[in-house]
Amino acid sequence: MDVFEAIHKRRSNAKIKQDAVPRAAIEKLLSAAVQAPNHYKVRPWRFAVLTGNGLNKLGDVFAASFADRQPGLPAEALDKTRALPHRSPLIIAVGVDKPCEPKVSEVENIIAVSAACQNLLLAAEAEGLAVKWRTGEWALDVKVKEFLGFAPDQHLIAFLYIGYPEVTPEPQPRPSFEDRTVWMG
Ligand SMILES: Cc1cc2nc3c(=O)[nH]c(=O)nc-3n(C[C@H](O)[C@H](O)[C@H](O)COP(=O)(O)O)c2cc1C
């Protein structure tokens, strides 16, 4: 698929089948992600790949996190939360390394990892995979970060819910670049 076609066709898609994504396809996405530009070549991206029991465990951590934030929740609410990671057969959680030396800035690391995520999204589009990028309160929770192997002060910038699409949404036209651009010839 041509890169412009992938860019223009890509849209969030939360309607995802439960069919497993083959390991080779997951590796293709990760390989695309790490081609992103990054200042000082620090490779600040960290990926946690969750399938099967990994999703069950993430659900338990989500539920524990929710219970911490809102004590006294009914069991049904916690069960619903526990099921959230199963909205796709695969989640790639994406973390950002803290700068390891003074010349490296945190915001630039976040920018580089965001670029990696976009590479992954476009690669998924080319592979016929649906992706839904989610964050929410879970992404800020120290328990969730710890479970994924991230430090408490590391940014967790994405839960990429990935799988084969149940339906493929028609891309809605986007506002143009014109009112966001000044030409300085
Ligand atoms: C950093 C980031 C965090 C996001 N978090 C959520 C989220 O928590 N829940 C959600 O429904 N969508 C989330 N999204 C997806 C956006 O809502 C979506 O990309 C936006 O509506 C544009 O739609 P499109 O992806 O189809 O172009 C997130 C996107 C980004 C870039």
Ramachandran region, residue 41 (left: φ > 0; alpha: ψ -120 to 50; beta: rest)? left
The string of pLDDT tens digits covering residues 24-49 is 999 999 999 999 999 999 999 999 99
The string of pLDDT tens digits covering residues 78-117 is 999 999 999 999 999 999 999 989 999 999 999 999 999 9
- What b/e readout covers 153-168, taking b as 16+ CB neighbours within 10 angstroms? ebbbbbbbbbbbeeee
Q: Is the CB of 12 under 6 A from ligand 1?
A: yes
Q: Whose CA is nearest to atom 30 of ligand 1?
A: 133
The string of pLDDT tens digits covering residues 148-177 is 999 999 999 999 999 999 998 888 889 999
The string of pLDDT tens digits covering residues 120-151 is 999 999 999 999 999 999 999 999 999 999 99
Q: Where are the domains of the chain?
A: 3-180
Residue among 1, 7, 29, 16 at smallest CA distance from 171: 7
Nearest-Å Rg of the Cα atoms of the chain is 18
Q: Is the CB of 133 under 6 A from ligand 1?
A: yes
Question: Could you confirm whether domain 3-180 is CATH 3.40.109.10?
Answer: yes
What local confidence, expressed as pLDDT, does residue 149 receive?
97
Q: What pTM did the predictor assign?
A: 0.97
Q: Which of 133, 137, 140, 155 to mutate to test the pocket of ligand 1 (most atoms within 8 A of CB)?
A: 133
Query: Distance from the CA of 94 to the center of ligand 1, in angstroms?
Result: 14
Q: Is the CB of 134 under 6 A from ligand 1?
A: yes
